[in-house]
Amino acid sequence: MADAKTERGAKAPRPLSPHLQVYRPLINMVMSILHRMTGAALYLGTLLVAWVLAAAASGPEYYAFVTGLLGSWPGKVVLFGYTWAIFHHMAGGVRHFIWDTGHGYDLETIDMLSWGTALISAVATLGLWAYILISG
Q: Which of residues 4-63 bind other proteins (CB under 8 A)?
A: 36, 39-40, 42-43, 46-47, 49-50, 53-54, 56-57, 59-60, 63
CB of 79 to other proteins, least distance (A): 9
Q: What does the H/E/C string look like for 14-77?
A: CCCCCCHHHCCCCHHHHHHHHHHHHHHHHHHHHHHHHHHHHHHHHCHHHHHHHHHHHHCHHHHH
The residue range among 8-16, 17-25, 108-116, 124-132 that interacts with other proteins, by the rule CB under 8 A, is 124-132
Report helix, strand or coil for 8. Answer: coil
Which x/- pattern, by CB under 8 A, does the window 82-111 give for other proteins? -x--x---x--xx-xx--x-----------
What one-character DSSP code corresponds to residue 101?
T
The C-alpha atoms of residue 32 and residue 38 are separated, in whole angstroms, by 10
Q: Does 130 bind other proteins (CB under 8 A)?
A: no
CB of 95 to other proteins, least distance (A): 11
Residue 16's CB: how many other CB atoms inside 10 A?
A: 6
Binding footprint of other proteins on the chain (CB under 8 A): 36, 39-40, 42-43, 46-47, 49-50, 53-54, 56-57, 59-60, 63-64, 67, 71, 83, 86, 90, 93-94, 96-97, 100, 128, 131-132, 136
